[in-house]
Chains A and B, each alone.
Chain A
Amino acid sequence: MSTGSVPLPDTSVNGSTGSKAKHRALSDTLYSVFLITPAMILILIFALVPLAYAINVSFRFADLTSPRGVAEWVGLENYHFALNDAFFWSSVQRTLHFAIFAVVIEMILGVAIAFLLNDIKWFKGLARSLIILPLAASPFAVGLIWRYMYHPDFGVFNYLISRVGIPEQNWLGNSQIAMGSVIAFDVWQWTPFVALIALAGLQALPKEPFEAAALDGASRWRVFRTLTFPMLAPVLTLVLVLRTVDAVRLYDAIVSLTAGGPGTSTEVLTFYLYRLGMRFFRLDQASAMALLFLYATVVFTGLLMRRFMQNMAARTRAKQ
């Protein structure tokens, strides 16, 4: 069994075992480096190199279909274009609209489902297995099915709501509700993720504080507000960060459900960047916009993660 990098106790008189331990610790370090190197190389190749390339391109003229290709240095011109591009800002607005509504709903529903699953006595395993199904499906493939389910002429949703007397809706064809329909699809797919993580967090909570609260006659709401939620908060913060970062990268669902339409009502930033970069091949402008948004995302997640790390550190200190 490996001892990691922790030195073995020096039990010998002349310290020879200590030397072995030092040697072994060094060996373990090398071994760790050896194991992590392939992953680091992959990250370097597929994440950092493209990022560096994108930064470089964002300061140049780069139209792949132009004879000039990736050409001269243009300074901040592409960033100036991005900041003055109305379509960029409107797509950012739609992205935030989507992310805020989708993530908030997923968090609320996910936590509620987690509590339900935590409380049920029977078929808990089956429920967990069923709830994971939307996560296992490809967003693009399922999106195509949902597109037909949403269809106002043949779709099952209109059939169902018409049975209870609600007027039929043009789910993906009405600019006013198309984004809501995309959000509903995302909620269906990603709420289970929140639920499963929250459930794991719930099941890992210590029993003693809850038993003490029960003895003191605390109400369920008070227990939730003063015990469960604060103890679950770090996990929920992590889920919030993960879901938010994922939500702002929304692409597959848009492609399969609406292709950004009707009009531009569901054209989120990734879809706009895809068009700019991969249909019009203006890599310079697309890179500048992507980097601006990446910066905003990093700042946002950094702030949230900082809080998360502070919570974790406080909890560790409390345990000590």
Chain B
Amino acid sequence: MNRIRLYGLMLVLLIVFVSFGSVAAQDGVTINWVTISGFYTDWAEQVAARFEEDTGINVNIIDVDIGQLYETQVLESVADTGAYDLLTYDAGQKAEFAESGYLLQIDEYIAAADPEVIAFEDIAPALREVTSMWRGGVFGLPYYTFTMGYFYRCDLFENPDEMTAFEAEYGYALGIPQNYDQMADIAEFFRRTPGETLAGQAIEQDFYGIGVMAGRFDQVQDEINSIAWSSGAQVINDDGTPGVDDPEFLAAANLYVDELLPFAPPGALSSSFDQIVAQMQQGLIAQTAAFFLDQYANMAKTEDMIPGARICTAPAPGVHSWVGAFGVGVSSDSTHPQEAFDFLAWMAGAEAQREFATGGGTTCRTSILTDTALISENPQTMGHYPTLVSVLDHTAAANFYPNYLFVPQGGKIYDEMTTWYSTAAAGEMSVEEAMANMATAIERQCGGACEIANEALGENYTPVPMPFDYEAFVASQANDIDAWIAAQ
């Protein structure tokens, strides 16, 4: 090739690269929202487009895989790059993001905002506490809750043959488990092998009493912690010391490993939430352990896939399960904090959230969660709302919020839990050994006793779990959405 032409070509390429590197600032303000890839991004794009139409502010949505979202945001925040105007965080990361100065405190912005748009008080109090509040200030707004409840095959639970057999064997009526011992009984009872009968029908494949997420994914700790919290144990005690090696916590973890896991499908040790949904849809399991209520729409598909199947929901035993949400906050590095907040207020506001809920999202707004007419119109996607409201109300009434959500090292401790809880579940080491390692990890992450900024630890705080009125819950028919709608 002619060398002069080669030089010319390289010069042109150089000019092109330089041009790309110096794109002039666009007209108007652009805010960058980093959020979870593939997670209601269609809705987010629509909301952003309407916001742009109304305000002229461009919203650039940056999708990041959920597995990398945490470190991506931390690295950009630590480096003060200003790459993102809005950050997305899990409730368990709120304390770290707020304490480390990644998030801007937005109390003043909220006070100055249109109360009808922001409607801050409309956000479920429990979700406000775990997702927004840090040391008395507001650092973000929740927009999607994955609060845990309980799913079960009510067609099996209400089958007369099964009810009779269960009562004969365990001495009490088959129903929604009110504690984890009852859940273990139900798990054992419904374990069937090929040739045995289930609801009067001979089965050809194994049927399991429970689906659990014991794989090395985030969900294993959500399940074990829910058992522990419901029995009064904590990951981190009120004095900041590790609670995972306390007798109550060890009992909870042992119950999970010894009394639930043996009755789960073999895939439990490599399962996360999506596989529990698949197990339910395939007709393999009778119930879940504590499970994410936002998966209702997927769980409800079981009714189409398994003839005669009905899916019902309830609070998980003891109710003090994982109550959480994804929150969005304004990055303290944002060069356009007001515009970023305006979009946040719009996106987490009542109007956009109503669209979000209609599209299948699980909103954090009480006015939508309790909108009987809306739920009646959308039972396939909102059938879990009555149960969710029960869980959120009970959590707020009990003023029970796990301590580890209120330590700045919460995100790292959450990651440690995945390793050690999974290690115990897999039998790689005993529960006691694994939890001793977990306790060491907590102390390592906190540099000793953890500093807890849990405002729930006030005068009215009691570490004893608050009882839940299951009879009233069943009487309300919130567990069965069709019955609940008919009763309205």
Contact = CB atoms under 8 A, between A and B. Distances in A.
A261 B266 contact: no
Nearest to A155: B267
A170 to B, nearest CB: 5
The secondary structure that dominates the A interface is: loop
A174 B138 CA distance: 44
B74 A173 contact: no
Contact of B428 (A31, A171, A258, A263): A263
A152 B265 contact: yes
B5 interface: no
Contacts of A278: 71, 75
Nearest to B274: A148
A153 B279 CA distance: 8
A8 interface: no
A300 B432 CA distance: 40
B415 A280 contact: yes
B270 A262 contact: yes
A263 B426 contact: yes
A262 B282 contact: no
Contacts of B266: 152-153, 168, 170, 173
A256 to B, nearest CB: 10
9 contacts: A64-B74, A64-B78, A152-B270, A259-B217, A262-B216, A262-B426, A262-B428, A263-B419, A265-B426
B445 interface: yes
Interface string A162-191: 000000101111110010000000000000
A170 B426 contact: no
Interface in A137-151: 147, 150-151
Interface of B: 3, 67, 70-71, 74-75, 78, 96, 100, 214-217, 265-271, 275, 278-279, 282, 284, 412, 415, 418-419, 422-429, 445
Contacts of A65: 74, 78, 96, 100, 412
Nearest to B14: A38
A275 B68 CA distance: 11
Contacts of A154: 267, 278, 282
Contacts of A170: 266-267, 269-270
A137 B2 CA distance: 38
Nearest to B72: A278
A172 B270 contact: yes
Contacts of A151: 267, 270, 275
B249 to A, nearest CB: 19
A258 B70 contact: no
A84 to B, nearest CB: 14
A210 interface: no
A260 B216 contact: yes
A278 B425 CA distance: 25
A317 interface: no
Contacts of A150: 270
Contacts of A178: 270
B82 to A, nearest CB: 17
A226 to B, nearest CB: 46
A64 B216 CA distance: 25
B59 to A, nearest CB: 28
Interface string A248-283: 000000010011111111010000000100111100
A69 interface: yes
Contact of B422 (A147, A174, A262): A262
Q: Which 6 A-B pairs have the closest CB atoms?
A: A261-B216, A173-B269, A263-B428, A262-B426, A263-B423, A152-B266
B428 A265 contact: yes
Most chain B CB atoms below 10 A, which of A147, A263, A281: A263
B100 A173 contact: no
A172 to B, nearest CB: 4
Contacts of A280: 412, 415, 445
A76 B74 CA distance: 27
B265 A261 contact: no
Given A31-B3, A173-B268, A174-B269, 5 more contacts: A175-B426, A178-B270, A262-B270, A262-B422, A265-B428
A280 B70 CA distance: 11
Interface residues of A, number: 33
Contacts of A171: 270
Contacts of B279: 153
A258 B429 CA distance: 18
Contacts of A173: 215, 266-271, 426
A77 B437 CA distance: 22
Contact of A153 (B267, B423, B427): B267
Nearest to A272: B419
Contacts of B284: 153
Contacts of A147: 270
A175 B269 CA distance: 9
Contacts of B423: 262-264
Contacts of B100: 65
Given A151-B270, A153-B265, A154-B282, A262 B70 contact: no
Contacts of A64: 74-75, 78
A281 B70 CA distance: 11
A262 B445 contact: no
Contact of A258 (B75, B270, B412): B270
Contacts of A175: 426-428
Contact of B67 (A152, A174, A255, A264): A255
Contacts of A31: 3
Contacts of A255: 67
B214 to A, nearest CB: 8
Contacts of B275: 151, 153
B421 to A, nearest CB: 9
A259 B415 CA distance: 12
Contacts of A172: 215, 269-270
A150 B275 CA distance: 12
A117 to B, nearest CB: 35
Contacts of A262: 214-216, 269-270, 422-423, 425-426, 428
A69 B74 CA distance: 12
B427 to A, nearest CB: 7
A178 to B, nearest CB: 8
Interface in A32-70: 64-65, 69
Contacts of B71: 278-279, 281
A69 to B, nearest CB: 7
B70 A261 contact: no
Nearest to B434: A263
B275 to A, nearest CB: 7
